[in-house]
Chains A and B, each alone.
Chain A
Amino acid sequence: MKPAAGEWYIGIDAGSRWTQISCYHGNLTEPETRSTVAGTELYRIPTAICKRRISGKWCFGEEASRMAETGEGIYVDDLLNRALKKETILLDKEYQAEDLLLVFFRKVLRIALPAKGVEAVTRCVFSIKEVTDELVALLKHMGRELGLTGQQLVVQDHRESFYAYAVCQEPELWQYDVVLFSCSGEEIWMKHLVCNKKTRPEIAEVEEVCLGRLPEDVREWDITFAHMVQNAMSGRIVSSVYLIGSGFEGNWMKESLQVICRGKRAFQGKNLYTKGACYAGMLEVHQEEADTVYFCEYKIQEHIFLKVTRGDDTGFYPLLEAGCNRHQIEKKLRILLEGEGTLDLWMQKPGSREAKIESLELPELLSSDMERYRLSLSLYSGEEGKILLNIRDMGWGELLPGTGREWEYEIGECYEQSLVM
Chain B
Amino acid sequence: MSRVWLCEELTAEHPFFLEEEKVNLYSFEELCYYLYRNTGVLEESFFNERLCFWLAQDVGQPELSDRLRRGIEQERSGCWCMEQILKAGGFYSSEELKQVLKTAERMEQKTPLERAKLRGDRLLRAEKYRDAVSEYRRILGQADQDNDPVLGLIWHNMGTAYVRQMLFAPAAECYETAYAISKREESRESYLMALACRDGKEMTGEADSLTEARQKLTEQKQAGNRAGYEKMIERLLENFRLEYRKSE
Scoring B residues 187 to 199 as 1 if CB is less than 8 Å from chain A, else 0, what string do you get?
0000000000000
Contact B90 A337, beta carbon cutoff 8 Å: no
Contact B2 A308, beta carbon cutoff 8 Å: no
Contact B26 A310, beta carbon cutoff 8 Å: no
Contact B7 A311, beta carbon cutoff 8 Å: no
Interface stretch (choices B28-36, B105-113, B160-168, B206-214):
B28-36
Contact A310 B25, beta carbon cutoff 8 Å: no
Write the chain B residue with the least CB distance to A310.
B90
Write the chain B residue with the least CB distance to A359.
B2
Scoring A residues 384 to 398 as 1 if CB is less than 8 Å from chain B, else 0, what string do you get?
000000000000111
Contact A309 B27, beta carbon cutoff 8 Å: no
Measured CB to CB, the closest approach of chain B to A270, in angstroms, equals 43
Secondary structure type dominating chain A contacts: strand
Q: Which of B5, B25, B29 has the most CB of A within 10 A?
A: B5
Contact A336 B4, beta carbon cutoff 8 Å: yes
Write the chain B residue with the least CB distance to A367.
B2
Q: Which chain A residues (293-345) contact chain B, with CB distance < 8 Å?
A: 306-312, 317, 333-344
Contact A374 B4, beta carbon cutoff 8 Å: no
Q: Which of A308, A311, A372, A399 is within 8 Å of B6, CB to CB?
A: A308
Q: Which of B1, B30, B92, B93 is within 8 Å of A396, CB to CB?
A: B30
Scoring A residues 102 to 133 as 1 if CB is less than 8 Å from chain B, else 0, what string do you get?
00000000000000000000000000000000
Cα distance, A317 to B7, chains bound together (Å): 12
Measured CB to CB, the closest approach of chain A to B70, in angstroms, equals 22
Contact B6 A335, beta carbon cutoff 8 Å: yes
A312 and B6 in contact (CB under 8 A), knowing A374-B29, A398-B23, A398-B24? Answer: no
Contact B5 A308, beta carbon cutoff 8 Å: yes
Contact B7 A333, beta carbon cutoff 8 Å: yes
Measured CB to CB, the closest approach of chain A to B245, in angstroms, equals 15
Contact A306 B4, beta carbon cutoff 8 Å: yes
Q: Which chain B residues (66-113) contact chain A, with CB distance < 8 Å?
A: 87, 90-94
Measured CB to CB, the closest approach of chain A to B50, in angstroms, equals 17
Q: Which of B2, B6, B7, B91 has the most CB of A within 10 A?
A: B2
| CB of B201 closer than 8 Å to a CB of A | no
CB contacts (< 8 Å) of A338 on chain B: these are 2-4
Contact A399 B30, beta carbon cutoff 8 Å: yes
Contact B24 A339, beta carbon cutoff 8 Å: no
CB contacts (< 8 Å) of B25 on chain A: these are 397-399
CB contacts (< 8 Å) of A342 on chain B: these are 2
CB contacts (< 8 Å) of A344 on chain B: these are 1-2, 4
CB contacts (< 8 Å) of B20 on chain A: these are none
Measured CB to CB, the closest approach of chain A to B72, in angstroms, equals 24
Secondary structure type dominating chain B contacts: mixed
Scoring B residues 108 to 126 as 1 if CB is less than 8 Å from chain A, else 0, what string do you get?
0000000000000000000
Cα distance, A335 to B2, chains bound together (Å): 12
CB contacts (< 8 Å) of A317 on chain B: these are 6
How many inter-chain residue pairs (CB < 8 Å) link A and B? 78
A343 and B1 in contact (CB under 8 A), knowing A311-B90, A311-B94, A312-B93? Answer: no
Cα distance, A282 to B25, chains bound together (Å): 39
Write the chain B residue with the least CB distance to A307.
B4
CB contacts (< 8 Å) of A399 on chain B: these are 21, 23, 25, 30, 33-34
Cα distance, A15 to B77, chains bound together (Å): 66
Write the chain B residue with the least CB distance to A398.
B23
Contact A334 B23, beta carbon cutoff 8 Å: no
CB contacts (< 8 Å) of A306 on chain B: these are 4, 6
Cα distance, A339 to B4, chains bound together (Å): 9
| CB of B19 closer than 8 Å to a CB of A | no
Contact A397 B27, beta carbon cutoff 8 Å: yes
Cα distance, A181 to B87, chains bound together (Å): 59
A337 and B93 in contact (CB under 8 A), knowing A374-B7, A397-B30, A399-B30? Answer: no
Q: Which of A308, A311, A396, A397 is within 8 Å of B4, CB to CB?
A: A308
Measured CB to CB, the closest approach of chain A to B36, in angstroms, equals 10
Measured CB to CB, the closest approach of chain A to B203, in angstroms, equals 36
Cα distance, A88 to B24, chains bound together (Å): 50
Cα distance, A340 to B91, chains bound together (Å): 18
Write the chain A residue with the least CB distance to B24.
A398
Contact B5 A335, beta carbon cutoff 8 Å: yes
Q: Which of A336, A339, A343, A397 is within 8 Å of B26, CB to CB?
A: A397
Q: Which of B3, B23, B90 has the most CB of A within 10 A?
A: B3
CB contacts (< 8 Å) of B26 on chain A: these are 397-398
Contact B87 A333, beta carbon cutoff 8 Å: no
CB contacts (< 8 Å) of B29 on chain A: these are 334, 336, 374
Cα distance, A339 to B1, chains bound together (Å): 6
| CB of B9 closer than 8 Å to a CB of A | yes
Cα distance, A306 to B7, chains bound together (Å): 13
CB contacts (< 8 Å) of B21 on chain A: these are 399
Q: Which of A311, A338, A343 has the most CB of B within 10 A?
A: A311
Write the chain A residue with the least CB distance to B11.
A334
Cα distance, A338 to B92, chains bound together (Å): 12
Write the chain B residue with the least CB distance to A317.
B6
CB contacts (< 8 Å) of A340 on chain B: these are 1-2
Measured CB to CB, the closest approach of chain A to B189, in angstroms, equals 35
Write the chain A residue with the least CB distance to B17.
A398
Q: Which of A333, A334, A343 is within 8 Å of B2, CB to CB?
A: A343
Contact B7 A334, beta carbon cutoff 8 Å: yes
Q: Which of A307, A317, A344, A399 has the most CB of B within 10 A?
A: A399
Contact B33 A309, beta carbon cutoff 8 Å: no
Cα distance, A317 to B9, chains bound together (Å): 14
A336 and B93 in contact (CB under 8 A), knowing A306-B4, A374-B7, A374-B29? Answer: no
* 17 CB < 8 A contacts A-B: A308-B5, A309-B90, A309-B93, A311-B90, A334-B27, A334-B29, A335-B6, A336-B5, A336-B7, A336-B91, A338-B3, A339-B1, A339-B2, A340-B2, A343-B4, A374-B7, A397-B25
> What 11 additional pairs, Cβ within 8 angstroms, besides A337-B3, A338-B4, A399-B25?
A308-B6, A309-B3, A311-B87, A311-B94, A312-B93, A335-B6, A340-B1, A340-B2, A344-B2, A397-B25, A398-B26
User: A residues bordering B, Cβ < 8 Å?
Assistant: 306-312, 317, 333-344, 372, 374, 396-399
